[in-house]
Structure 1
Amino acid sequence: MTRHDVLFEPVRLGGLTLRNRLVMAPMGTCLDVGGHITDDTIAYYRRRADGGVGTITVEGCLVSAETIGPEPRISGPEYLPGLRRLVEALRPYGVTVGVQLMHPGRQVVDGPSVAPSPIPLNSASPVPRELTGEDIAGIVRDYAAAAMLAADAGFDFVEVHGAHGYLPSNFLSPQFNRRTDAYGGSLENRARFSVEVARAITEATDLPLVWRLNGDDGPSGGLTVDEAARVAAVVVGAGASAISVSAGTWLSLQVTLAPMAVPRGHMRPLAAAVKRAVDVPVMAVGRLDDPDEAAAVVESGDADLVLLGRALIAEPDWPDKVREGRLAELRPCIACNACVDLVGRGERARCAVNPEAGRELTWELKPAVTPRRVMVVGSGPAGMEAARVARLRGHDVSIWERDGRLGGKLEVAGLAPSKREVLRFRAHQAQRLADLGVAIHTGVEVDAALVERETPDALVVATGAEPLVPPIPGIDAPHVHDAQRLLRGEVAVEPGQRVVVIGGSATGCETAELLAAGGVRVTIVEMRATIGRGIEAITRRQLVRQLRQDDVEVRTKATVVAIEPGAVVHTDPEGASHDVPADLVALAIGWRPTGESFETPPGVEVWVLGDAEQPADFVRAVNSGADAGLAL
């Protein structure tokens, strides 16, 4: 017996028996085409079912025909074939399968925007049309019709997305529901739409109904946890068989889709509050990918089930590995939100740590026909992944790193206070390479002579990128350093000193964050109109907020023209010159690839990957490494 066994006990949900307490959370994938479930969609969910999760809630499907969005649809019989194929494909795995019913309300990508009140999402969004009583009745019918289609498709239950600022959540919010009729004002009235939807679904079908509810709308205001508990009880009274508790809205996505700086289990108290108010199963969510934390949720009685979202994108086998005690093998979700960012832009779901995600249909680790000697130079994300995949296919692989430990830029990326999770992935990859028998060489500068001595059949150049150093007068002064040196602690910086960070990209912002946390007075000088380019949107928002709290000064649209003793000189868009006091200067201007400068002996097959080919993001680096490993 282990403390994790509690996660694998069965539990009742309505008339269903779920085989364990782990539920795959509904998450958008953009793998559908025109609202129809595709073979890619099915392969994605089949892979998670194969990993041992007890229940899968298929991503939100649009219930109203006039709603336009990237989500799959369940608004008419033409969508049934794909939905049926999905359910049938998951049946052999013994999972309970539900589907989330969704109406985005004013949070649409395109097309009609509707809401309880004509309040736009933000200043750039259209003013939504205020729903009439007739409109509301029509949407309630849409939910019921969608539930009947779900039953026809063979789903075991349905879930209504009543959280995150979507239509039911919008009705519940006193901040955005200003109606004076029966659907506005008191909490009872604001909950009326949810009650009507719940009753319509439970009257139309025998499927158990899960209601996803915000335990709190987040810093933007709106529904509070006390009100959420009352709403949960009302919705259960209207027929819901379980409550799934989340939090946050489009205006507070750092709550809903917490980046790595947010502690694990941050929404657990909300689930506990709702649990005290209802007598049906409650699901908790919010970075619960640590097995001990997940088990504690159930052991404590805070919730009956644990939702795993991004954790199952990163590690589909999370349930089986935890159940079997193979905790050291868990590929860590680092909450980088790369998956969220891609889907938010209408692109297919991918993962920064799992290159299989989003391409399960074509992913196949075929054993190499002829094992070869593969030499990987550079151990950043691209290099380590190339080595891992090549070794899994049976090649004789060695990896070479000039620094004292594996990781490349991962080491530096994980030093900022908000990026510590990156180091977990580095440690995981390093351990996997060791376990797989990859020959690891650190502290070695590789040149053409060494490659010739090693006689590899294939050479993977993943040496990353090096900092750009533009010809700014004074840039070679002794108080000017590459930002990575400050991140590593190689340059002594005292509290109260003034540091100017030139460049407001990810490295620049993270350098500023680390220094400001130590009491250093920091100014970021950036040529562009904003800082944080290259950082996923939710993480960027959180990081910029932290920089403000730490009194980091930000100067944008500023072109550095000189670095002088004690000052950085820049011009503004009008050409006026400004001095910024500086005891030290950190350069974070950009990167240039190193692959072109790497000398290779003739006759060796050469692959240039990741930043060594072209500076890019984490997802591209890991995926390029995997592609090379598959092709070698």
Structure 2
Amino acid sequence: MTDTAVLFEPVRLGPLTLRNRLVMAPMGTCLDEDGYITDDTIAYYVRRAQGGVGSIAVEGCLVSADTVGPEPRLSDDRYLDGFVRLLAALAPYDVTVGVQLMHPGRQVVHGPVVAPSAVPLNSHAPVPHALTEDEIAVIISDFADAAERAVRAGFTFVEVHGAHGYLPSNFLSPTANVRTDGYGGDLAGRARFSREIARAITARVGPGVPLVWRINGADELPGGSGIEDAVQVSRWLESDGVSAISVSAGTWQSLQYTLAPMFMDRGYMVPYAAQVRAAVDIPVITVGRLDDPELAARAVTEGAADIVLLGRTLIAEPDWPEKVRTGRLDDLRPCIACNACVDLVGRGERARCSVNPEAGRERTWTMLPTPAPRRVMVVGSGPSGMEAARIARLRGHRVSLFERSGLLGGKLDVAGTAPSKREVLRFRDFQAAQMHRLGVDVHLDAPVDAAVVQQQDPDVVIVATGADPVVPPIPGISAAHVHDAQLVLREQVPIPAGSSVVVVGGSATGCETAESVVERGGTATIIEMRPTIGQGIEAITRRYLLKALRASGVRVLTSSKVVAIEADAVHYEDADGVLHAVPADLVALAIGWRPGGNLLADALTGDAREVLVLGDAHRPADFVSAINAGADAGLQV
């Protein structure tokens, strides 16, 4: 068993001493406004500083005035006031604060698209403008100018985003950089842009301000940069004055490595950091699902890295450092790598979290003890119900939780049964443990109707009974071999080896059901009315899951409507109105959901007590909405 105390040793970063080896990763939040740091941004970072992290790397800031993006900006002095206010707010905490500088290059959603060569990101992306040498010089100067502004604002170190397919990373890539001048060709030519940025920054800010360089251990793309390139470039950057190397991986074309969903192994990038660590004499920073304290500590004790970068971990659990330091491991809210935060930011929306309702609204989040404790009855133990119970109990109410099944979790339990989503069960188990730790009175195998409510006589009833599956009037849909997809996911329906299963509906539940069927030895066909499947699945996971379904032989029929179910076949109509039949030993229904809380709420109409209907019981929605609805209810009562 690895001693996690190593994570809390001081560590040098150039002339600075960080109080521990834990650094908050630079992650986009979309909490800024038009490039300006806001009070919401400040509250978000202050909350992480309060949790005991040794250092914070503020999210990537655009260095060039002509770039367009949702990121904060350091391209002009007019943006400095927000950073000054941010650093003033962080000053009371023993935390070292730096900022990441970035140029997106060809990885932009809007605005000018530039790159080392006229090679588009993909077949749907615009052909970028190939930068001239004069334009390259301007961008190098932009990086140096931004670094100088950062120091004037009060940052004590700067980091360049040289990974993930952004502009410096693009120059390093043999597939993206096909130049024949001094900025292309062999590795030395492709690294010239990065090295000139490093030299320009160190010359401008001086040796007292450490420069961290984030680099890809591998692009994880055919023909892209690999670990051998990363090792050599890291050696060169060290000679150019860089104080530490932060090793990551992936690009927008391989985002499952950059922002690993829950199906990726923890610590998958540590081996890259280890190879860089063996080649340089400056600190190396590692990252990649290191929310397991022992795994993070092992990366240090085994010499793979000197510093551990925590990203989504700190969105889910801002107090991770302090809880680990004080041994409160059972109280760590788990990041389940669902990438809800990533998906929202990728769409230009404010960062939120599936497991932490405080994330993204720290400025307005207030959880005050109740002045008048009430008896609160929560019906349903899905994500909304347990979160409502948790928050209400923390505020001092007397809370009882009623679950009609024998296990807490509701849809969390169902979602976690899919092979690619087992991490969800970690959050279910955490929430269930919180119910017992906080003293919530839990009742299992306890269906609730109006009579039960009258017997319990609460002051408040929170109806969080979830949603019921939609069962349309399709001929044959009541046959014995037709089952709710949730029962298939829970393995309550046997799947004999080689059996043919037709999944009606291609949403998240439908795709995960097909995945489960194949893992259990069956064959699966998905029939979906819409033109695509996987709607509602986080984008990176969806890309992986659809590819995995195709590779496993799952047949997908889109723009198709099921018209009848027979004992051995499902009949459907395609987009042209042509009828077809698919053999079926079993049929799994994943058609959709309708609110499931109205019956109980209606039965309590006219009752003097307060009744709240929330989560899927009110309106079927996603995980983030469910958790936030539960939290809001707990804050409201």
Residue from 610, 613, 623 that aligns with 2:628 = 623
One-letter amino acid matched to 1:213: I
How far 1:215 moved relative to its partner? 0.3
The answer for the alignment partner of 1:545 in structure 2 is: 547
Deviations 1:134-178 (A, max 9, x none): 000000000000000011001010000000000000000001101
What SS does the corresponding residue of 2:564 show, helix, strand or coil?
Answer: strand
Residue from 335, 345, 348 that aligns with 1:346 = 348
Q: Is the 8 A contact 1:505 1:588 kept in 2?
A: yes
Residue from 492, 497, 500 that aligns with 2:499 = 497
Tell me the C-alpha RMSD between the 2 structures: 0.9
Q: How many residue pairs end up in the alignment?
A: 632
Residue from 371, 376, 380 that aligns with 1:374 = 376
The answer for the alignment partner of 1:204 in structure 2 is: 204
Pairing of 1:573-612 with structure 2 (within 5 A): 573-598=575-600, 599-600=603-604, 602-612=607-617
Q: Is the 8 A contact 2:385 2:464 kept in 1?
A: yes
How far 1:124 moved relative to its partner? 2.2
Q: Is the 8 A contact 2:317 2:356 kept in 1?
A: yes
Does residue 613 of the first structure (1) align with residue 615 of the second (2)? no
What SS does the corresponding residue of 2:454 show, helix, strand or coil?
Answer: helix
Distance 2:300 2:129 in 1: 42
Q: Is the 8 A contact 1:517 1:550 kept in 2?
A: no
What SS does the corresponding residue of 2:281 show, helix, strand or coil?
Answer: coil
The answer for the alignment partner of 1:481 in structure 2 is: 483
The answer for the alignment partner of 2:415 in structure 1 is: 413
What SS does the corresponding residue of 2:188 show, helix, strand or coil?
Answer: helix
The answer for the alignment partner of 2:104 in structure 1 is: 104
One-letter amino acid matched to 2:312: R
Deviations 1:522-560 (A, max 9, x none): 111111111111110011111112112211111111111
How far 1:221 moved relative to its partner? 3.8
How far 1:119 moved relative to its partner? 1.3
Pairing of 1:162-561 with structure 2 (within 5 A): 162-206=162-206, 207-561=209-563
Q: Is the 8 A contact 1:220 1:252 kept in 2?
A: no
One-letter amino acid matched to 1:170: N
How far 1:88 moved relative to its partner? 1.5
The answer for the alignment partner of 1:78 in structure 2 is: 78
Distance 2:188 2:172 in 1: 9
Distance 1:594 1:379 in 2: 13
Distance 2:480 2:235 in 1: 66
Distance 1:246 1:125 in 2: 24
Q: Is the 8 A contact 1:220 1:251 kept in 2?
A: no
One-letter amino acid matched to 1:491: V
Pairing of 1:119-158 with structure 2 (within 5 A): 119-158=119-158
How far 1:108 moved relative to its partner? 1.5
Percent identity of paired positions between Structure 1 and Structure 2: 67
The answer for the alignment partner of 1:8 in structure 2 is: 8
How far 1:109 moved relative to its partner? 2.2
Distance 1:421 1:355 in 2: 18
What SS does the corresponding residue of 1:362 show, helix, strand or coil?
Answer: coil
Deviates more, 1:465-474 or 1:487-496: 487-496
Q: Is the 8 A contact 2:495 2:521 kept in 1?
A: no
What SS does the corresponding residue of 1:294 show, helix, strand or coil?
Answer: helix
Distance 1:526 1:165 in 2: 35
Distance 2:109 2:94 in 1: 35
Distance 2:497 2:337 in 1: 31
One-letter amino acid matched to 2:604: T
* TM-score with structure 1 setting the length: 0.99
Q: Is the 8 A contact 2:22 2:53 kept in 1?
A: yes
One-letter amino acid matched to 1:615: P
Distance 2:222 2:536 in 1: 26
One-letter amino acid matched to 2:448: V
Note the residue ranges of structure 2 that are not aligned, 5 or more in a row: none
What SS does the corresponding residue of 2:389 show, helix, strand or coil?
Answer: helix
What SS does the corresponding residue of 1:446 show, helix, strand or coil?
Answer: coil
Distance 2:109 2:152 in 1: 28
Distance 2:162 2:428 in 1: 37
Distance 2:578 2:18 in 1: 67
Which aligned runs of 4 or more in structure 1 are off by greater than 3 angstroms?
Answer: none
* TM-score with structure 2 setting the length: 0.98
The answer for the alignment partner of 1:33 in structure 2 is: 33
How far 1:220 moved relative to its partner? 4.6
Q: Is the 8 A contact 2:57 2:100 kept in 1?
A: yes
